[in-house]
Amino acid sequence: MIGDLLIQGGQMLVVLALAPLVTGVVRKLKARLYRKRGASVIQPYRDLARLFRKEAVVAEGASWLFRAAPYLIFAMTWVAAALVPTFASGLLFSWSADLIAITALLGSARFFLALAGMDVGTPFGGLGSSREMMISSLAEPAMIMLVFCLALVAGSTQLSTVAEVMLSGVGLRVSLALALIGLMIVAVAENARIPVDNPSTHLELTMVHEAMVLEYSGRHLALIELSAQLKLLLYISLIACVFAPWGIAPVGAGLAHMPLGIAAYLGKLAIGAVLLAVFEASLAKMRVFRVPDFLGAALMLGLLGTLLLFVSRGL
Amino acid sequence: MQSLSALLSAGTRRQGCRPWPRAILEAGDWSALAAHLAQGRFTLVSLWGDADAVHMALLDEATGEAGIATCLCPDRRFPSVGRIHPPAQRLERAVQDLYGLTPDHASDPRPWLDHGRWGITAPLGRAAPAAPAAPYAFLAAEGAALHQIPVGPVHAGIIEPGHFRFTCHGETVVRLEERLGYVHRGIEGLMGGASIEEAARLAGRISGDSAVAFALAFARAVEAARGIAAPARAIWLRALAAELERLANHFGDVGAICNDAAFALMLAHCGVLRERCLRACDIAFGHRLMMDVAIPGGVAMDLGPEGVSALRALVTTARAAFPELVRLYDETTSIQDRTVGTGIVKEALVRRFGAGGFVGRASGRAFDARRVQPYPPYNQMPFSIPVRTDGDVNARIWIRILEIEESLSLVTRLLDTLPAGPIQVPMEAGPGEGVALVEGFRGDVFAYVRLDGEGRVARAHLRDPSWFQWPLLEAAIEGNIVADFPLCNKSFNCSYAGHDL
């Protein structure tokens, strides 16, 4: 029990501590791919420290929602990130570490972010919120479909169980390959990366995520940035946990397993960051109205994967 | 059909304006010229004010004939050209703001450059204390499902200030209205009464990216006014500077347009080429943007052997690196998907507005000042002018790509044929009027200079090509989505500073 509590606590701290680093590494890699030197990988930590020190300027006419939203968003994203097994699967909250719960937590966080974007009444906030809602209305069904596909293979939507089933060997399955591609598409869209959104743009008219948070400053902005970084880490961890669960300390494993688990986890994060950076550097952003096609592909992959599983097992 | 010179001969010919004739017309003949403009017989080159008159420069593209019409305004009014020929509207609004000369029956009486922050009205005419300005009334677009997005003048990126008012239906732009004038520095006012040297320095600082083009236009106008010709070596060096400026800007633009579609890889690689180009310019001419290189009478400094080798090295590097970047652009489907078919400008509109540069040439208007009003050394040097008819963002990128290749070959040929000799002729004080039309990277820059007899500028007017490109941007974005505006805007890359003066 105490061991589980330690692991759970450690996991929560690890994701929080590593999230800015992953973003920093992705930025650094992208800069290197563009033949630039790039900022240090710890720059996101410095940015967060700077933002936390700064005064938060709140627009006139902003309601309580605008002030409360950053805390809500951060709390929900952090809890969601804490539910994904990273280096050990014996989490105290394991009973609740359900893929559907994670999807719901992220969905709620986004709901508040979109509301906050519209709260101040600037045109960019509304523009960003409407685009975000369009994207999420396509990404969430795709995500749920992919969850079903995984659940059919593993017999559970609990991530610890999924990871263990995967580790025990389910063989190569077409459905899993489809689910992996689908999940990557959803991850790109959910994290506002190229080609769906551009995290480093200065063009107000093209922004999605950035447009919603344009009015935020100081600690509010810091919390939102940290949430975005946590979300990126969450998706990389999720994909790693389901499709590459090697090295994760199994339930009931002693502390001796932990170093291996942590090393494996760091390795997976590094691979995820490299893949993301290369993917982003080689693409232009797509037109806003192409995004449905892109996410539609994820939905279809999820659906196909689920159907194939039914067909192969028989009803 | 009457030729332009026949129409101008209806008025009183003013002696001493070179190389284009200038005639003072009665109001009726002025309006007749405006009607010819509206019919598309002539192209409006510029329209500008003076103490008690307005001038209008016209060009007959079919024959290459050009001339200036002047309308005296004793009662401080003149017949509006913009009423029937929209390209003149903003120019007339600027004349009204700066000189207090009112176009009669103008279809758009709102101020343009004057935002009510000068404290006076008509600073170049009969200045008077200004009353508090009324709020600017943007054009209406009505409908239940429409909403407005105001953008600028302060933007999230570090770019020049301009205000864009979008009226949208969801993501689709129904109407875009621009509001410019935020970087008005009163350059034409500063030039009036300045010595020729001071005015030349000012001309080179109108728009930083077109430092050579503006300085060259001004220098050629002054030389025309005084009836002198710069020595051959100076002419070659100026052309070299102009082509290098074109190269640097086109490299930057090709990368920046792709970057606005989040394809930063192109920006990174093109940025390297642009930087190499600027450094070669620094070695060759002592200034990265080559400010104050072209001066009336010649050039300020000679090109040494070190400069020649730097420029030759630049051409070699660019020739080796650029084709690969073009392939990267052309073979990346995700960027092609964004640029092809986006922001189409119709050929009829380009012709009507007389839009030059890549905006005109991407939409089928094969206008290049180096060809239509040939000036040395381009009249002795064959070169091709790329033209496309699709008129979209992709076409504007391709015009730049082809012009880069053309300019690289021009730089080599200019270096190969660089004549020896002096680089300056002395400028003697004396009266005169001169005009020049010079092809900058953005399009044709027009300059009009009137000198008093004591080596000072009485009136100078420089017209940036953006005057006739900005209005087309409003047309290009119509029916496109809001998120594509930055891409369209960058493919036009109009000047704020050059336009606002």
Distance separating alpha carbons of residues A46 and B135, to the nearest angstrom: 44
Number of other residues whose CB lies within 10 A of the CB of residue B119: 9
Distance separating alpha carbons of residues B382 and B104, to the nearest angstrom: 46
Peptide bond before B153: cis, by omega within 30 degrees of 0?
yes
Tell me the two tokens of residue B269. Answer: 């690689």
Give domain B4-128's CATH number out of 3.40.50.10610, 3.40.50.300, 3.30.460.80, 3.80.30.20.
3.30.460.80
Which residue has 């760091």 as its token pair? Answer: A266
Distance separating alpha carbons of residues A151 and A226, to the nearest angstrom: 30
Nearest to A281 among B265, B483, B484 (CB): B265
Distance separating alpha carbons of residues A145 and A293, to the nearest angstrom: 16
Smallest Cα distance from A5 to chain B, Å: 44
- Mark yes or no for CB contact A289/B485 under 8 Å: no
Number of other residues whose CB lies within 10 A of the CB of residue B366: 12
Q: Scanning every residue of chain A, which has its alpha carbon at the shortest distance from the alpha carbon of B272?
A: A35
B270 sits in which H/E element: helix B264-285
Identify all chain A residues contacting B486, using CB atoms and an 8 Å cutoff.
203, 205-206
Task: Decide: A85 and A91 in contact? Cβ < 8 Å.
Answer: yes
Number of other residues whose CB lies within 10 A of the CB of residue A70: 25
Smallest Cα distance from B14 to chain A, Å: 50
Q: Which of the 8 DSSP states describes residue A88? A: B
Q: Which of the 8 DSSP states describes residue B445? A: E
Q: Which are the contacts of A246, defined by CB distance < 8 A and separation ≥ 6?
A: A167, A264
Indicate the domain borders of chain A. Answer: 2-311
Give the pLDDT confidence score for residue B462 in this predicted structure. 94
Of B441, B294, B295, B292, the residue nearest B359 (C-alpha): B441
Smallest Cα distance from A294 to chain B, Å: 12
Which residue has 């072209």 as its token pair? Answer: B294
Of A36, A28, A42, the residue nearest A273 (C-alpha): A28
Q: Which of the 8 DSSP states describes residue A286? A: P
A1 touches chain B (CB under 8 A): no
Write the single-letter amino acid at B186: G
Identify all chain A residues contacting B332, using CB atoms and an 8 Å cutoff.
282-284
Give domain B187-500's CATH number out of 3.40.50.1220, 3.40.50.720, 1.10.645.10, 3.40.50.2000.
1.10.645.10
Q: Scanning every residue of chain B, which has its alpha carbon at the shortest distance from the alpha carbon of A195?
A: B262
Q: At CA A53, angle to CA A52 and CA A55, rounded to 5?
A: 95
Chain B residues with CB under 8 Å of a chain A CB are 147-151, 155-158, 171, 258, 260-265, 267-269, 272, 332, 334-335, 337-338, 481-486
What are the distances in angstroms from CA B240 to CA B278, B303, B405, B469? 13, 10, 14, 26
- Mark yes or no for CB contact A194/B262 under 8 Å: yes
Smallest Cα distance from A59 to chain B, Å: 17
Smallest Cα distance from A34 to chain B, Å: 6
Smallest Cα distance from A56 to chain B, Å: 19
Selected for mutation to probe chain A from B266, B328, B334, B335 (highest A CB count within 10 Å) is B334
Q: What is the DSSP string of B115-152?
A: -S-SSEE-TTSS-EEPPPPPPP-PPP---TTEEEEEE-
Measured in whole angstroms, the distance separating CA B60 from the mean position of its chain's CA atoms is: 19
pTM for the whole structure: 0.90
- Mark yes or no for CB contact A285/B337 under 8 Å: no
User: In chain A, which residues have pLDDT < 50?
Assistant: none
Give the pLDDT confidence score for residue A304 in this predicted structure. 93
Of A68, A38, A44, the residue nearest A56 (C-alpha): A68
Tell me the two tokens of residue B288. Answer: 């990265």
Helices A218-243/A2-33 angle, 10° precision: 100
Give the pLDDT confidence score for residue A1 in this predicted structure. 66
B17 sits in which H/E element: strand B17-18
- Mean pLDDT, chain B, integer: 91
Residues of chain A numbered 178-197 and touching chain B (CB < 8 Å): 194-195
User: In chain B, which residues have pLDDT < 50?
Assistant: none
Q: Scanning every residue of chain B, which has its alpha carbon at the shortest distance from the alpha carbon of A197?
A: B262
Q: Which residues belong to CATH 3.30.460.80 in chain B?
A: 4-128
Distance separating alpha carbons of residues B483 and A201, to the nearest angstrom: 12
Identify all chain B residues contacting A203, using CB atoms and an 8 Å cutoff.
156-157, 260, 486
Q: Which tens digits make up the pLDDT trace of B377-412? A: 998 888 999 999 999 999 999 999 999 999 999 999
Q: Which residues belong to CATH 1.10.645.10 in chain B?
A: 187-500
Which residue has 């045109």 as its token pair? Answer: A123
Q: What is the DSSP string of A119-136?
A: HS--HHHHHHHHHHHHHH
- Mark yes or no for CB contact A284/B337 under 8 Å: yes
- Mark yes or no for CB contact B334/A36 under 8 Å: no
Distance separating alpha carbons of residues A174 and A222, to the nearest angstrom: 41
Which residue has 């404290």 as its token pair? Answer: B119
A287 touches chain B (CB under 8 A): yes
Q: Which are the contacts of B4, defined by CB distance < 8 A and separation ≥ 6?
A: B42, B58, B60, B63, B65, B66, B67
- Chain length of chain A: 315
- Mark yes or no for CB contact B262/A35 under 8 Å: no
Q: Which are the contacts of B128, defined by CB distance < 8 A and separation ≥ 6?
A: B100, B120, B121, B122
Q: Which are the contacts of B93, defined by CB distance < 8 A and separation ≥ 6?
A: B82, B106, B108, B109, B110, B111, B112, B113
Distance separating alpha carbons of residues A98 and A238, to the nearest angstrom: 11
A169: left (phi over 0), alpha (psi -120 to 50) or beta: left
Burial zone of A17 (CB within 10 Å; 0-12 exposed, 13-18 middle, 19+ buried): exposed
Tell me the two tokens of residue A224. Answer: 């939102």
User: For the complex shown, is ipTM > 0.95?
Assistant: no
- A&B contacts, CB < 8 Å: 81
Distance separating alpha carbons of residues A305 and A274, to the nearest angstrom: 27
Measured in whole angstroms, the distance separating CA B112 from the mean position of its chain's CA atoms is: 18
The widest CA-to-CA distance across chain B, in whole angstroms, is 70
